[in-house]
Amino acid sequence: MAEPAAERILIAYATTDGHTGRICERLKQVIEDLGRQVTVTLLSEAGALDLRDFDRVVIGASIRYGHHQPVVSEFIGQHQALLESRPSAFFSVNIVARKPNKNTPETNPYCRKFLKSMAWKPRRAAVFAGRLDYPSYGFIDRQMIRLIMLITKGPTDPKAVVEFTDWAQVEAFGREVCALTA
């Protein structure tokens, strides 16, 4: 008797500086280690896939200047019925989540506001602290982010590269996605 096909999971994401993609790759590794097949793609390219081929969908999105990229809400709006028909999850990546009192979907202002604005309610949501990489930013972004960091008591050295991501938290989220029930 043939073994049943492995469950297929789509991880689709939007990123500004690439760190959300790194988080997706770690999720993929964790989920594949649990016997699932995983496809990782940018949200801007996910519409070209037949989303009905996936048993679960995870959407990840970074924050820049307090907002997720428009493609995130557009994708969710276009595919809301499908997202609601199967286990789905959402995660947000932002520097504010470096603070212990702002690192859950309930306490992170950006994630809370975003989820409240959506009719779609993912079965699981998470917030991950991102990465600060001043040398890779253009002049204006570097100055704006330094100002924000000054106000919020974060690193302001223009040469600083600081990864705030709790990779154990990312891996736990991957296991939670696999444990979601239909």
Contact 89, 124 (CB under 8 A): yes
Q: What would the pLDDT profile of 126-179 be if each residue is shown by its tens digit?
A: 999 999 999 999 999 999 999 988 998 899 999 999 999 999 999 999 999 999
- Which of 141, 27, 16, 136 minimizes the C-alpha distance to 71? 16
SS (H, E, C) 10-61: EEEEECCCCHHHHHHHHHHHHHHHCCCEEEEEEHHHHCCCCHHHCCEEEEEE
CATH 2.60.40.790 holds for 8-130+165-179: no
Q: Which residues pair with 128 in a beta bridge?
A: 93
Confidence of residue 105 (pLDDT cuts 50, 70, 90): very high
Instruction: Indicate the pTM of the whole model.
Output: 0.92
- Which of 156, 130, 111 minimizes the C-alpha distance to 17? 130
> In the chain, where are the structural domains located?
8-130+165-179, 132-164
* One-letter identity of residue 150: L
For CA atoms 55, 72, 29, 31, give the dihedral sign.
negative
Confidence of residue 89 (pLDDT cuts 50, 70, 90): very high
* One-letter identity of residue 178: C
